[in-house]
Amino acid sequence: MLTQKQNGKYILGVNINTNYPADEELARTEITDLYSTFSEYADYYTINWGSIAPEILSSVLIAVADKKKQIGKPIFLKLPADVPIEKLGDIISFARQHHIDGFIATGPSQDRSLLIHSSQAEVTHVGAGGISGLPIIYKSIEVVRYLSAHAPKEMLIIGAGGVMTPAEATSMLNAGAHLVQIYSAFIYEGPFVVKRIAEACK
């Protein structure tokens, strides 16, 4: 697939992470190696906020920024659905400092109260893990709306998390997202959901 991408017309984002989220030197090496390795194929990269220890994230992003000067592929921070709104101002400042090109909002939530159609026994039985899909749409929209109002205009905002139908995609765009990503919708609606959403949001 990646080899075919060279002649493809679609945009490919690559999410990069490290096996050593608390080790500054190893995390820096792994992330920069991944950035370089996939640069032939990737149109942009994603780094998940919270997947690397906060005390070393700055160092990692400085190293990636040096690679970016040579390669030029943009980098986005993907924020979790549970990010406190009052922290977003600091996150925007941090992103500007490290030459981040935009945000993806949002990833999964750990908030089990969002599973309103499941009993507590069912939720307990499923066990730990992130919640994605429709239950997180309102959290995602709230984050997108804040970013749209406060992030620099040159930063791209990709709305994600809970987009299942044209209605959610429209809500994301109305909140200020420049682009929309879908994940769970593929599972429940199949690949043709992309066409339905795109046609409805023209």
Q: Which H or E run includes 139?
A: helix 137-150
The torsion of the CA quartet 181, 183, 186, 187, rounded to 10 degrees, works out to -170
CB 87 within 8 A of CB 59: no
Amino acid residing at 192: F
Question: Known catalytic residue: 51?
Answer: yes
Q: What are phi and psi of 79, to 5 degrees?
A: -95, 145
- Among residues 39, 51, 59, 118, the one annotated as catalytic is 51
Tokens 């991408």 correspond to: 5
- The Cα–Cα gap between 36 and 32 comes to 6
Active site residues: 51
